[in-house]
Amino acid sequence: MINEFNGTSSNSSPVNVGPDERTISLVAGVVLILLGLAKRNLWSLPAIALGTKMLYRGATGHSPIYSLLKLNTAVSTHPEAVSVPHQQGVHVVKAITIQRSIEDLYQYWRNLENLPHIMGHLESVKVIDVQRSHWVAKAPAGLSVEWDAEIVNDIPNEVIAWRSVENAQIANAGSVRFKPAPNNRGVEVKVTLEYVPPAGNIGVAIAKLFGEEPAQQTADGLRRFKQVMEVGEVTTIEGQSSGRK
Amino acid sequence: MRAVTWQGPNKVTVENVPDPTLLNQHDAIIKVRLTSICGSDLHLYDGFVPSMLPGDIIGHEFMGEVVAIGKSVRKLKIGDRVVVSSIIGCGKCWFCEQALWSLCDNSNPNNGLEAMYGYTTSGIFGYSHLFGGYAGSHAEYIRVPFADQVAFVVPENLSDEQTLFVSDAFPTGYQAALFCDIHPGDTVAVWGAGAVGLFAMRSAYMLGAEKVIAIDRFPERLEHARVNGHAVATLDYTETDVIDALKELTGGRGPDSCIDAVGMEAHAGGLPGMYDKVKQSMRVETDRPHVLRQAIQACRKGGTFSIIGVYAGLVDKLNMGAAFNKGLTFRMGQMHGPSLIPDLLGRVERGEIDPSFAITHRMSLEQASEGYETFKHKNEQCLRVVFQP
Ligand SMILES: NC(=O)c1ccc[n+]([C@@H]2O[C@H](COP(=O)([O-])OP(=O)(O)OC[C@H]3O[C@@H](n4cnc5c(N)ncnc54)[C@H](O)[C@@H]3O)[C@@H](O)[C@H]2O)c1
Ligand SMILES: [Zn+2]
Ligand SMILES: [Zn+2]
């Protein structure tokens, strides 16, 4: 049971409870235990157990439920963002189902110059000829990474696959597949991406800049692709008013 | 323009902010004529909904006048008086096509809910960044995305006050009653006699219920339940054993359906109340499930439990065995506004209900802070605060 944390977790318990909450946890823990001891009914045992947990939480600064919900009050950031551990290369597969004809979906993607509109990390793609294209990806601090790619497989309304040509700054390959979903539920679109950063420190740095959250980036890109194909524009709140200065 | 902004738990301020502009082709800008504080806003105000940022403009129940439209807007015209669904749907995705608007795939620009819930659900006006981060309606103007899908022209003979709650509270209550799959002779028990619960009561009758029983603790709200909800019996849960009383009122069978119109901040006394309050304030448990526990126990065998009060995360100590062995049906979720609003406007127009009964307090935007406090504590017999920006 999720809530029955018994204080025996020796694996990873990083601090994810802020200091104020830790103090309150300690106090609340004591109060609950006392209350639980004073009353004798169905609720006294859970109350004592909870009190014990609050003490644990106050003392260690770790809330197992926060980990479960991926929330963290100890650092003031958004609740998402768990970085993919950096390994040898990155492999991402993401799928989405879109209500639009397979022809339209394929056509949009086959014009690679459309991709920066949906893939947030791409600055531009210039088509050189039927096979070749030049890609520029954004990186933080105004930097960018560029490479040439070629289409290696193209079956209309089924699959498009590409890969960077030799000597690219960052070797990468990708494909997109289109398949009708059962019973007219749209088209299943599956994207596969692979990056192999060059060896050495520079490679690590580039890989980091290039795709800190490749899985998230790809998922977001597919969501935008769906928005463009289903409703004709990318859903946004960018530029709206707020009371933030 | 002036707008009410969230600044942290129990703190709202009225600020000068830039007027909204059209950001997309399907947008409209609405001049807000009326907007209210909903029970859902209290979950933000009390700090139980993650991903709020100081400065966010809140509010989601509103009606107003179209003052600008994007170039792909077809149905709406400048000058139209409209009521707008609080939940936002694109109208084009599979979910919207199935009339499951609050599950829309395209209206939430933020994908953060995927980590919490497995999938991202629709955007909602003024309801945190996880739900899209859309600026809300407690303002002079509001940007409405997918305007042709979510804004509905109000019949001329209806007043602003009669149509405001068709934006949120009425469709929510109506959907709660729809979930109950009501049959002739059915008894429906409704926890919570706020606006949502009261509309659920009236909707249950519209859908054929024999009798409705209301549960709350505020005398004036129980009075509303009798007068405006047409409840045949009311129970004060602080004074009565609700489960026994419901049995007694239904010849020992139990209510055929139970509606939770309270949600994650349910109040309870005694040790159970303390237990959940501490857990929730410490974020060990995100929601307080008193009503869930009671309704599962109270519902008749094979009955339906309809949950329309909002829950956000984890709950603790639910008697799943009771729900399972009694063969209960659970129905729940945010309401699917756009598929309900045309029908509900028709019901108001035909005089089946006049939703304006729920307005107890009228204020200007400048009084937002006072409005939130009054509604939060249910002072001055407050049922709904309405701002006229
Ligand atoms: N699903 C949706 O789309 C949707 C839309 C709007 C509102 N809501 C939710 O509906 C709920 C009610 O909204 P509202 O505007 O009527 O709020 P409200 O605050 O006016 O009413 C809530 C009522 O619940 C009562 N209550 C508290 N604890 C109780 C308990 N243990 N037993 C019985 N009653 C109890 C309170 O006394 C109060 O009268 C909220 O959770 C809100 O978030 C859901
Ligand atoms: Zn609401
Ligand atoms: Zn949709």
pLDDT digits (tens, 9 = 90+) for B44-72: 999 999 999 999 999 999 999 999 999 99
Chain B residue numbers touching A31 (CB-CB < 8 A): 278
DSSP A142: T
**Average pLDDT of the segment spanning B100-107:** 98
Amino acid code (one letter) for A176: V
Distance from the Cα of A132 to chain B's closest Cα (Å) equals 33
- The answer to whether the CB atoms of A241 and B17 lie below 8 A apart is yes
C-alpha to C-alpha distance for A59 and A30, rounded to whole angstroms: 12
Distance from the Cα of A176 to chain B's closest Cα (Å) equals 21
Question: Which of B106, B311, B318 to mutate to probe the A interface, most A CBs <10 Å?
Answer: B106
Residue A62: per-residue pLDDT:
60
Distance of CA A228 to the CA centre of its chain: 20
Amino acid code (one letter) for B207: L
A195 and A103 assigned to the same domain: yes
Binding-face residues of B in 42-71 toward A, CB within 8 A: 50-51, 53-57
Residue A57: per-residue pLDDT:
62
CATH domain B169-332 topology: Rossmann fold (3.40.50)
A68 and A19 assigned to the same domain: yes
Residue B143: per-residue pLDDT:
98
| Nearest residue, CB atoms, B132 vs list A35, A234, A237 | A237
Q: Is the pLDDT of residue B369 over 80?
A: yes
Residue A72: per-residue pLDDT:
41
Domain boundary among A50, A77, A104: A77
Note the CATH architecture for domain B2-167+336-387.
Answer: Alpha-Beta Complex (3.90)
8 Å CB contact between B255 and B232: no
State phi, psi for B36 to the nearest 5 degrees: -125, 170
| Any domain includes A240 | no
User: Other CB atoms closer than 10 Å to residue A155's CB: what's the count?
Assistant: 11
Residues with CB under 5 A from ligand 2 (ion): B 38, 40, 168
Count of structural domains, chain A = 2
A22 and A67 assigned to the same domain: yes
For residue B3 the two structure tokens come to 């707008």
Distance B163 CA to ligand 2 centre (A): 15
A65 and A126 assigned to the same domain: no
A125 and A208 assigned to the same domain: yes
C-alpha to C-alpha distance for A148 and A132, rounded to whole angstroms: 7
Mean pLDDT, chain B, whole residue set: 96
**pLDDT of B275-323, one tens digit each?**
777 777 777 677 889 999 999 999 999 999 999 999 999 898 899 999 9
Distance B145 CA to ligand 3 centre (A): 12
Residue A214: per-residue pLDDT:
76
Complex-level ipTM: 0.92
State phi, psi for B341 to the nearest 5 degrees: -60, -45
Give the number of whichever ligand sits closest to the CA of residue B40.
1
The residue among A45, B210, A208, B29 whose CA lies nearest residue A53 is A45
Chain B residue numbers touching A53 (CB-CB < 8 A): 284
C-alpha to C-alpha distance for B190 and B182, rounded to whole angstroms: 14
Residue A149: per-residue pLDDT:
95
Range of A127's domain?
90-230
A104 and A10 assigned to the same domain: no
- The answer to whether the CB atoms of A24 and B282 lie below 8 A apart is yes
What b/e readout covers A195-229, taking b as 16+ CB neighbours within 10 angstroms? bbbeeeeeeeebbebbbbbbebbbbbbbbbbbbbb
- The answer to whether the CB atoms of B282 and A28 lie below 8 A apart is yes
User: What are the residues whose beta carbons fall under 8 Å from the beta carbon of B240, sequence distance 6 or more?
Assistant: none
**pLDDT of B265-276, one tens digit each?**
999 877 777 777
Binding-face residues of A in 183-242 toward B, CB within 8 A: 185-186, 216, 219-220, 223, 226-227, 230-242
Q: Is the pLDDT of residue B147 over 90?
A: yes
Residue A71: per-residue pLDDT:
40
C-alpha to C-alpha distance for B146 and B125, rounded to whole angstroms: 12
Amino acid code (one letter) for A228: V
| Any domain includes A242 | no
Chain B residue numbers touching A97 (CB-CB < 8 A): 94
**Average pLDDT of the segment spanning B167-187:** 98
Chain A residue numbers touching B24 (CB-CB < 8 A): 233, 235-236
Residue B36: per-residue pLDDT:
98
**pLDDT of B9-27, one tens digit each?**
999 999 999 999 999 999 9
Instruction: Spell out, as residue ranges, where chain A has pLDDT lower than 50.
Output: 1-13, 64-87
| Any domain includes A49 | yes
| Any domain includes A85 | no
Domain boundary among A77, A99, A117: A77
Question: Residue whose CA is closest, atom 5 of ligand 1?
Answer: B172
C-alpha to C-alpha distance for A2 and A183, rounded to whole angstroms: 38
C-alpha to C-alpha distance for A178 and A167, rounded to whole angstroms: 30
Same topology, domains B2-167+336-387 and B169-332? Answer is no
Range of lowest pLDDT (A71-75, B95-99, B126-130): A71-75
**Average pLDDT of the segment spanning B317-335:** 97
**pLDDT of B241-263, one tens digit each?**
999 999 999 999 999 999 999 99
| Any domain includes A239 | no
Phi-psi region of B288 (alpha: psi -120 to 50; beta: other; left: phi over 0): beta
| Any domain includes A243 | no
Give yes or no for A80 touching B (CB within 8 A). Answer: yes
Sequence ranges of the domains in chain B: 2-167+336-387, 169-332
Q: Is the pLDDT of residue B190 over 70?
A: yes
C-alpha to C-alpha distance for B57 and B385, rounded to whole angstroms: 17
| Any domain includes A235 | no
C-alpha to C-alpha distance for B85 and B144, rounded to whole angstroms: 10
| Any domain includes A122 | yes
**Is the dihedral angle over the CA atoms B153, B159, B164, B165 positive or is it negative?**
negative
Task: Record the pTM.
Answer: 0.86
8 Å CB contact between B371 and B131: no
Distance of CA B42 to the CA centre of its chain: 11
